[in-house]
Amino acid sequence: MQQHKIPQMSITKESELVGMQKISEVVATTLRLMREYAKVGMSTKELDAYGGKLLKKHGAKSAPFETYGFPGYTCISVNTEAAHGIPSTKKILKEGDLINIDVSAELNGFWSDNGGSFILDKDLHNHQPLVDASKYILQKAINRIKDGVKIADVGHLIETEAKKKGFKVIENLAGHGVGRSLHEAPDNILNYRVRSNRERFKKNTTVAIETFISTRSNTAVELNDGWTLVGNRGGYVTQHEHTILVTDAAPVILTQANGIWN
């Protein structure tokens, strides 16, 4: 879901912070409630419709639906799907499924983005270590971010931590600036170090930080449906994502209400 680079919004007044807080609260709560709503035997289409209803209730518009004409209000990726899974009546959730829900939306001209992977009911296929690694690494990465920190150094941290746990990272999916549109500069908050990238995080900007931790693959490839991404070498991928406000100390996690770390 790339588009041309839009300059990064910097929060310069209270009303902008409030705007970001409001939409972040909406996407975070929607993600949490969708995760709780997911049940064995339900289709991903039904789960998505519930998410769409929640967004509408708050007056928010689904970002993928509005911006890209994505065939759903949220992206729901199941098992070997890495990202951008299309909600479908044919995809029925089963016990032990590895599910990722990604919710991004717009409200009053502000945009926010968050996501998380979880296992439905019992962990029948031992996906928990992968889920836990992704959550832990996201937390560690976010704790490292403040004004002046190199984007490449955070990528290095994510990759190093993944390797320590016996996993890989997806190299062609990235976190990004978010605020006045879904994707803003910087659009290259990658899960590994690009030595040539000298860009740094800047105070008072809002960014979506996301991990893409995988069992086998290092690249995401698109299926024929034009949306769904899977790993180039198969296996499983987990993603966790928060929208944060960069400060000169610890970041403010705007999507905290999603409970992905609970």
- For residue 8, what pLDDT band results from cuts at 50, 70 and 90? confident
pTM over 0.85: yes
Residue 242 has pLDDT above 60, yes or no: yes
Average pLDDT, the chain: 96
183 annotated ligand-binding residue: yes
**DSSP conformation letters of 26-61:** HHHHHHHHHHHH--TT-BHHHHHHHHHHHHHHTT-E
Nearest of 215, 208, 241 to residue 230 by alpha carbon? 215
Domain ranges of the chain: 14-257
Nearest of 16, 7, 62, 20 to residue 176 by alpha carbon? 7
Nearest of 110, 62, 79 to residue 254 by alpha carbon? 110
Residue 2 has pLDDT above 80, yes or no: no
**Structure tokens of 104?**
């991004």
Residue 219 has pLDDT above 80, yes or no: yes
- Are the C-beta atoms of residues 170 and 218 closer than 8 Å to each other? yes
- For residue 206, what pLDDT band results from cuts at 50, 70 and 90? very high
| CATH architecture, domain defined by 14-257 | Alpha-Beta Complex (3.90)
127 annotated ligand-binding residue: no
Q: What is the pLDDT of residues 81-134, one digit of tens each?
A: 999 999 999 999 999 999 999 999 999 999 999 999 999 999 999 999 999 999
46 annotated ligand-binding residue: no
* Gyration radius of the chain's alpha carbons: 17
- For residue 1, what pLDDT band results from cuts at 50, 70 and 90? very low
132 annotated ligand-binding residue: no
113 annotated ligand-binding residue: yes
Residue 5 has pLDDT above 80, yes or no: no
Q: What pLDDT is attached to residue 159?
A: 98
Q: What pLDDT is attached to residue 180?
A: 95
81 annotated ligand-binding residue: no
58 annotated ligand-binding residue: no
Q: What is the pLDDT of residues 12-58, one digit of tens each?
A: 999 999 999 999 999 999 999 999 999 999 999 999 999 999 999 99
Question: Mean pLDDT throughout 63-91?
Answer: 97
